Amino acid sequence: MRIPYDTMLAEFRRVFSKIGFTPERGKLLAKLFAENMRDGVYSHGLMRVPSFTRSVLNKSGIDPGAEPERVGTIGILEQWDGKLGPGMLNAHACMNRAIELAKEHGMGCVGLRNTNHWMRAGAYGIQAAEAGYIGICWTNTTQLIPPYGSTEKKVGNNPLVVGIPRPNGQHVLLDMALSQFSNGKLDVYRESGRSLPVPGGYDSDGNLSYDPGDIQDAGRPLPIGHWKGTGLAMVLDLVGALLSGGRTTYQIACDPTEFGVTQTYIAFDIKSISGENRLRDLVDETVADFQDGSTIEGEDKATYPGERMYRTRTENLRDGIPVDPVYWNQVLEI
Amino acid sequence: MRIPYDTMLAEFRRVFSKIGFTPERGKLLAKLFAENMRDGVYSHGLMRVPSFTRSVLNKSGIDPGAEPERVGTIGILEQWDGKLGPGMLNAHACMNRAIELAKEHGMGCVGLRNTNHWMRAGAYGIQAAEAGYIGICWTNTTQLIPPYGSTEKKVGNNPLVVGIPRPNGQHVLLDMALSQFSNGKLDVYRESGRSLPVPGGYDSDGNLSYDPGDIQDAGRPLPIGHWKGTGLAMVLDLVGALLSGGRTTYQIACDPTEFGVTQTYIAFDIKSISGENRLRDLVDETVADFQDGSTIEGEDKATYPGERMYRTRTENLRDGIPVDPVYWNQVLEI
């Protein structure tokens, strides 16, 4: 079942208006959810709308009316308090603020505390790139990954995003959790009975495994790069919490559910810094060389970060966005 | 064979003075090389001194007298030209400049172009942490890693560093190349006939391999996280080149040897931003929780980034620094 982008956007706007968002905030929420679907990030689109709606109506963890507030300024770095409002709206506001700071100072940085799940991390890298800025951002999460040699989850998968604008609109977008596969992706492989393309964790005998079920049962998903990924997760967590005054992964995990997470937003006014022609030429040249690499028989050619997204976006805008009718009907019934 | 730290430092100072460095620059170079050895980073210490000396004497790639110069300012971001001077001195000067900018503006950023190998990446994270600042820096390199599914090396291993100061002096230090194992590390395993602890690349049949020799023969070392690590390498390369006006990995690889690389330095005045007590408590709590994780039989307990370095430093300052007599004698003969 495929739904046209405009139909989905209108339906999401209706839902968010109905559950009490102001027109401006409801419109932005609907746009972000619909764009995640348009770009193929189905794990953070339609299927999250019913549960998001329930959280808002039950006032469980998300305060729909809360708006982020600036609570500190240290030089060009600003600290904002998300007041446990909707994570997508807080995230959009803080990347916007980082861009404003970058417009004035060449670069800007915002530390955000007390916010909620921002859904698709890459959305805020795209936001910066579409404004013509380099955007770098990351979030922490609760404890999801055991350190190397351990069976206890200690660090978050702390998604990291880097968006680099290209004048042709096909921006480079790295959107990367620090686990090799998200739990949702392991679910997808498990349900379809497929093996992972590369090892995704350990089984309960302590062997590296391609079996999503064995990995989930053992509770040992793999970070990228083994000890390297957990190290990176730890320092992103600490830097974010120190810049914003927010909670660390350890502190978030002291509560039974994940809320009140911590994020960092950095923007660079790259057209002023580098010049638009150099920006275009340098990125084009690197992307072309990357795509040019010889490939192993049976593999797709190497794809640069963001490339598959643009292919999916083109398809989905042309043919409609694939949806699970269960979730689509749930949304229609709200 | 073990050499006391002070003896090594004095010997390096003698060498750099003899080959024409001014007292101040020779002293700093000697300190950086000796500290790399003190902290157990033997791959970027003594064994590099003879080849570094030859490069300086032959004027091949390194101009010993060149000092970095500020060539642009965009808001608070500065661009510096390393003029192909010694990479360690350029790196130290630019992290220092980022710290000065952070002192004034909360954060600082320096893009450095036309520089050379900085030896141990972590040295400049330690530099920031010892000054009480969070330091983030990375360098690009020539093409060293093939993208996922490809046999052609296209991205650098672009080491990334994050240093976080702790009042007790046991700073958190992530110092991480984006390859799972450096080529030097593969050499060490290969020479000792040992298998790698985790897969380090592909063999020539296209299978993931624990055999360092097979991986080197196939020329397919693994990035951290497969497609994720090459994506991260590409965006770090592009961001660095765009901020500094420097060369990309692709451009560096057009020359037969690696020189004229590009680096980025970011510092945060974290004591002013977060307060010293919070800095101490937050990092202590996260580190303690990380170390507390249960471990698999036979594995060391989980170690946080930088922990092993401090253990090695303590041993080496007490017992002397282990050296390969071949390299030590080469240095004595200069």
Find, in chain A, the residue whose alpha carbon is nearest to that of B204.
Answer: A296
Distance CA B97, CA B244 (A): 14
Rounded to the nearest angstrom, the minimum Cα separation between A114 and chain B is 16
Contact A291, A308 (CB under 8 A): no
Q: Residue B296 — pLDDT band, cuts 50, 70, 90?
A: low
Is ipTM over 0.85?
Answer: yes
The C-alpha angle B241, B242, B245, rounded to 5 degrees, equals: 70
Q: What is the mean pLDDT of chain B?
A: 94
> Residue A65 is encoded by which pair of tokens?
């009316």
- Which H or E run contains B1? none
CB contact, 8 Å: A207 with chain B? no
- pTM attached to this predicted model: 0.97
Distance CA B278, CA A248 (A): 12
Please say if B44 is a catalytic residue. Answer: yes
Q: Number of helices and strands (H, E) in chain B?
A: 13, 11
Find, in chain A, the residue whose alpha carbon is nearest to that of B179.
Answer: A225
Q: Residue B86 — pLDDT band, cuts 50, 70, 90?
A: very high
Distances (CA, A) of A55 to A50, A127, A259: 9, 25, 12
Interhelix angle B227-244/A276-291, nearest 10 degrees: 150
Contacts with A243 (C-beta within 8 Å, 6 or more apart), sequence order: A77, A79, A109, A111, A264, B268, B270, B273, B274
Residues 208-237 of A with CB under 8 A from B: 208, 223-232, 234-237
Size of interface A-B (CB pairs under 8 A): 253
Query: Which pLDDT belongs to residue B301?
Result: 73
Residues 295-324 of A with CB under 8 A from B: 295-296, 299-305
Contacts with B96 (C-beta within 8 Å, 6 or more apart), sequence order: B127
Q: Mean pLDDT over residues B66-90, rounded?
A: 96
Q: Which residues of A touch B162 (CB under 8 A)?
A: 232, 235-236, 239
Closest CA to A220 of A199, A200, A233, A201: A201
Query: Which pLDDT belongs to residue A10?
Result: 98
Residue B174, beta-bridge partner list: B162
Query: Which pLDDT belongs to residue B298?
Result: 59
- Which H or E run contains B109? strand B107-115
CA A62 to chain centre: 18
Q: Which residues of A touch B180 (CB under 8 A)?
A: 225-226, 228
Distance CA B192, CA A280 (A): 47
* DSSP label of B304: -
Closest CA to B77 of B108, B55, B103, B49: B108
The yes-or-no verdict on residue B308 having pLDDT over 70 is yes
Q: Which 3 state secondary structure label does DSSP give B17?
A: helix
Q: Give the mutation candidate from B248, B286, B303 for the A interface (greatest A CB count, under 10 A).
A: B286
Rounded to the nearest angstrom, the minimum Cα separation between A181 and chain B is 9
At B317, give phi and psi (nearest 5°): -75, -30
Residue type, B196: L
Sign of CA dihedral B256, B259, B262, B265: positive
CB contact, 8 Å: B254 with chain A? no
The pLDDT tens digits of the residues spanning B115-135 come to 999 999 999 999 999 999 999
Distance CA A95, CA A266 (A): 7
Find, in chain A, the residue whose alpha carbon is nearest to that of B281.
Answer: A242
Cα pseudo-dihedral B246, B252, B254, B258, rounded to 10: 140
Contact B105 A154 (CB under 8 A): no
Residue B160, beta-bridge partner list: B138, B176
Strands A261-268 and A134-139: antiparallel
Interhelix angle A87-105/A122-130, nearest 10 degrees: 40
> Residue A262 is encoded by which pair of tokens?
């911590």
Query: Which pLDDT belongs to residue A64?
Result: 86
Contacts with B190 (C-beta within 8 Å, 6 or more apart), sequence order: B212, B213, B216
Q: Which 3 state secondary structure label does DSSP give B179?
A: strand
Q: Mean pLDDT over residues B301-323, rounded?
A: 94
Contact B75 A147 (CB under 8 A): no
Query: Which pLDDT belongs to residue A12?
Result: 98
Q: Which residues of B touch A228 (CB under 8 A)?
A: 176, 180, 224
Contacts with A194 (C-beta within 8 Å, 6 or more apart), sequence order: A212
Contact B290, A147 (CB under 8 A): yes
Q: Which pLDDT tens digits describe chain A residue by residue (334 residues)?
A: 999 999 999 999 999 999 999 999 999 999 999 999 999 999 999 999 999 999 898 877 788 889 999 999 999 999 999 999 999 999 999 999 999 999 999 999 999 999 999 999 999 999 999 999 999 999 999 999 999 888 899 999 999 999 999 999 999 999 999 999 988 889 889 999 999 999 999 999 999 999 999 999 999 999 999 999 999 999 999 999 999 999 999 999 999 999 999 999 999 999 999 999 999 999 999 999 998 877 766 566 788 999 999 999 999 999 999 999 999 999 999 9
> Which domains are assigned to chain B?
2-179+223-274 (3.30.1370.60)
Contact A34, A8 (CB under 8 A): yes
Q: Give the mutation candidate from A71, A74, A141 for the B interface (greatest B CB count, under 10 A).
A: A74
